[in-house]
Amino acid sequence: MASSQEPKKSDSQDLLKSVLQENHAAVRRFLRYLTRGSLPAEDLAQEVVLRAMNAKKIPDTESEIMTWLFRIARNLVIDEVRKAKRWREKEIPIASHDDSSEGVLPLPVPSVARQRVGIREMENILAEALEDLDEHSMELVTLRFFGGLSTSEIAKTQSLPVGTVCAKIFRATKKMKIFLEEKGYAFSELEPGE
Amino acid sequence: MMNSQIPDMCERAAEPILSGEWESLRSSDPIRSHINSCRECQGRIQEVRFFGEVFSTDEPRVGLQRKSPGRAPIQLPTPAKEAKTPWLIPTFKVASIAVAACFVAILAWNAFQPAGIGRVASLDGEATVRRFGSRTSEPLGEGALVHRGDLVRTEPNSRLHLRLEESNDVFLNESTEVRLEAKRLLHHNTGETWFEIAKGNGEFEVETRGADVLVLGTSFGTRYQEDEVLVPVTSGRVRVLTKGGEVEIDPGQVGVYSSSKPFLPPVVRTNPPQNLRPSWLSSSNGERSE
């Protein structure tokens, strides 16, 4: 019995590894949005990999693994934010009032790509728009745009009709667009050299 | 006939737009020609392209720009080289700066004022509005502007008719509360409403507790009744989406869903017991013809 399960576990581990390799950047980007750059996304992405590799049960298909990874990432951020909040509550009474970084986590050094003017502001406002969505819509948007899953793959993992998935994603993008408009932003194309 | 086809075509176009495959469709393809002519689908393409680009790459080729109007250049007076009346210069400077400051303040005030998306067409009784960002309500009168984010409420024994942009009419029965999220998006909290939605302006959406109601050129209502929400339809076609499923409601039918159990699918009552158009609507509020 044990010998028949071993190859199955090994197969799912291999699938997990290949999904992680292909989507590591997507998970890191998702984490960067969720933390708004206040926590090192690279470290959190590594933690997601560790948690996934040490899990007792791994989903069977690629799209289910993607859904599962983004959930791990989201839960991890919630844990880290709670920890950071406890840390701040502990530290603030001791810190000097003159210290401008009081209660604020250190920001990571931006990469070359992110030094472009307006990227930080854009990421912050998009993170707000994303957080404004309900949990289910946020998951669908995450799977479609961060994870790059097709609507039929999402429909399968969520046990929903494809039409409903499309409708819900469009409703979510419309809401995010309205959120951006209400904050005074509009989409724009960037010039090639910009 | 066209009215019932448009949502179907938008629905059929949804997957090609989300997957980006619509660009490879032939120009003679009916979905492609629908996409080219449909404002809703064009808006969806723009949204998918933008969010797809920013969320899927580290170096997106799209960005955001601020929509606020550019600052007016402050014209300071150039100092006279040979001033015969030196006392005039500081006075002129102060006056100019004050005028410029007023101008900038007016511009800033205008920039922060939400744009009006409709007006009160008629009011029978009393109604109040809580403006976006305000904690207090103010009375609403006939002809008053309503803005995005406003929370509108009618008092007992009162009726309100709002005329939104694009000639969409919203009627509120007594003790009803709605939030105007956008010119085509409204959140219905309590009470009973009736909508007369003009054709040809894209999808109009009503959010309620438990479901979203999507329409295109129709006459329909939403009413909270104990634990249920009723959606009677008299013209056009209405789609109701809950977390448990979706249904399309044709004229003469009533959609029903639970306001407290969003995972239950909506159902359609094909033989409603009474006249679908509520009696509290005055006869002057003529229904849109098909």
**B11 → closest Cβ in A111, A119, A163:** A163
For the segment A136-165, the average pLDDT, to the nearest whole number, is: 87
Q: Which residue of A has its CA nearest to B66?
A: A185
Q: Which domains does chain A have, with CATH numbers?
A: 1-97 (1.10.1740.10), 110-185 (1.10.10.10)
More confident residue, A107 or B27: B27
For the segment B25-54, the average pLDDT, to the nearest whole number, is: 85
Would you state the pLDDT for residue A113?
34
Tell me the percentage of chain B whose pLDDT exceeds 90.
11
Q: Determine the distance from the C-alpha atom of residue B116 to the mean position of all C-alpha atoms in its chain, rounded to a whole number.
A: 11
List chain A residues with CB under 8 Å of B62.
187-190
User: How would residue B85 be classed by pLDDT, with cut points 50, 70 and 90?
Assistant: low
Task: For residue A103, report the phi and psi dihedrals to the nearest 5 degrees.
Answer: 70, 10
Would you state the pLDDT for residue A188?
74
More confident residue, A11 or A72: A72
For the segment B52-77, the average pLDDT, to the nearest whole number, is: 65
B182 touches chain A (CB under 8 A): yes
Would you state the pLDDT for residue B86?
65
CA distance A141 to chain B (A): 9
List chain A residues with CB under 8 Å of B55.
29-30, 33, 126, 141, 145-146
B19 touches chain A (CB under 8 A): yes
Would you state the pLDDT for residue B162?
92
For the segment B140-168, the average pLDDT, to the nearest whole number, is: 89
Would you state the pLDDT for residue B4?
42
More confident residue, B92 or A98: B92
Would you state the pLDDT for residue B263?
76
Residues 6+ apart with CB under 8 A from A70: A27, A30, A139, A142, A143, A146, A147
Q: Which residue of B has its CA nearest to A163?
A: B11
Q: Say yes or no to pLDDT of A90 above 80.
A: no
Segment A30-33 long-range contacts (CB within 8 Å, at least 24 positions apart)? A30/A70, A30/A73, A30/A142, A30/A146, A30/B55, A31/A73, A31/A76, A31/A77, A32/A123, A33/A123, A33/A126, A33/A127, A33/A130, A33/B55
Q: Output the average pLDDT for chain B.
A: 79
Q: Which residue of A has its CA nearest to B17?
A: A166
Q: Say yes or no to pLDDT of B154 above 90.
A: yes
Q: Say yes or no to pLDDT of A7 above 80.
A: no
pTM: 0.46
For B181-202, what is each residue's pLDDT tens digit? 777 888 888 899 999 888 877 7
For A18-55, what is each residue's pLDDT tens digit? 888 888 888 888 888 887 766 677 788 888 888 888 88
Residues 108-137 of A with CB under 8 A from B: 111, 113-114, 118-119, 121-122, 125-126, 136
Q: Say yes or no to pLDDT of B153 above 90.
A: yes
List chain B residues with CB under 8 Å of A136.
243
Helix (H) or strand (E) holding A185: strand A185-189
Q: Where are the domains of chain B?
A: 2-56, 116-269
User: How would residue B2 be classed by pLDDT, with cut points 50, 70 and 90?
Assistant: very low
Q: Helix, strand, coil: what percent of chain B each, to 5?
A: 25, 35, 40
Say whether the ipTM exceeds 0.85: no
Q: Is-contact A16 A48, C-beta < 8 A?
A: no
Would you state the pLDDT for residue B160?
93
> Inter-chain contact B58–A125, Cβ cutoff 8 Å?
no
For A158-182, what is each residue's pLDDT tens digit? 888 888 899 899 999 999 988 888 8
Q: Is-contact A52 A69, C-beta < 8 A?
A: yes
User: How would residue A106 be classed by pLDDT, with cut points 50, 70 and 90?
Assistant: very low
> Inter-chain contact B62–A141, Cβ cutoff 8 Å?
no
CA distance A100 to chain B (A): 28
Q: Say yes or no to pLDDT of B87 above 70.
A: no
Would you state the pLDDT for residue B120?
92
Q: Which of A164, A135, A175 is nearest to B265 (CA)?
A: A164
> Inter-chain contact A151–B18, Cβ cutoff 8 Å?
yes
> Inter-chain contact A166–B14, Cβ cutoff 8 Å?
yes
For B242-270, what is each residue's pLDDT tens digit? 877 888 888 888 889 888 877 788 888 87
A9 touches chain B (CB under 8 A): no
For B122-139, what is each residue's pLDDT tens digit? 999 999 998 876 778 899
List chain A residues with CB under 8 Å of B50.
177, 187
Return the CATH fold of B116-269: Jelly Rolls (2.60.120)
Would you state the pLDDT for residue B155?
92
Would you state the pLDDT for residue B275?
74
Torsion B17-A174-B119-B155 (CA) sign: positive
CA distance B117 to chain A (A): 13
Would you state the pLDDT for residue A85?
66
Would you state the pLDDT for residue B173?
92
